[in-house]
Amino acid sequence: MIDQYQNERQVEYVFDEATYQLWISNAEEPLRSASILARNSGITRVEMLNLEKDCVVIRKEPDEDGNWGDLIIKRELKRRARKRVLKINEESKLVLENLISQSKCRHVFSQPRHPDQKLRPWGTRIGNRSSPGKACPW
């Protein structure tokens, strides 16, 4: 169970389980990992891009609820400064361990071809506006 903050919006999944599994089996990295973390923990895109390794706490054994650790979200939030803690399930644990082992910078998500650099948002430039999702960040 994921605790929600007061006035936080409810989540309704767009994909059913079969569609989600098809997506995960075809998505390239880092989109695949980001999709798994978003679905399992509720972390947002901005929070993922700013997630630092010291905010990931992974235990050696799961707790009594089957959680392997916590994501401590405390940086770069749009709203007033606050901290929230998201639970790490087994699928997210495997993804996070892989991302952290590949990253050579302080962030969990790094650029695939430049693991010493933080992964940045991407998009193609059209005039002064950005069009997300049209171009690859690397």
Residue 71 token pair: 């994501």
Tens-place pLDDT, residues 32-63: 999 999 999 999 998 999 999 999 999 999 99
**pLDDT score for 125:** 42
Q: What is the pLDDT confidence band of residue 14, given thresholds at 50, 70 and 90?
A: confident
Q: Answer left, alpha or beta for residue 33, where phi above 0 means left and psi between -120 and 50 means alpha.
A: alpha
Which H helix or E strand runs over 89?
none
The answer on pLDDT for 3 being more than 70 is no
Q: CB neighbours of 100 closer than 8 A, spacing ≥ 6?
A: 53, 56, 108
**pLDDT score for 75:** 59
> Is the Cβ–Cβ distance between 85 and 69 less than 8 Å?
no
DSSP state of 96: H
Strands 129-132 and 123-126: antiparallel
Tens-place pLDDT, residues 96-117: 999 999 999 999 999 999 999 9
Q: What is the pLDDT confidence band of residue 137, given thresholds at 50, 70 and 90?
A: very low
Residue spans of the domains in the chain: they are 17-53+90-132
Reported pTM? 0.75
Buried (b) or exposed (e) across 95-106, using 16+ Cβ within 10 A?
A: bbeebeeebebe
Angle at 40 between CA 24 and CA 74, to 5 degrees: 125
Instruction: State the chain's mean pLDDT as an integer.
Output: 82
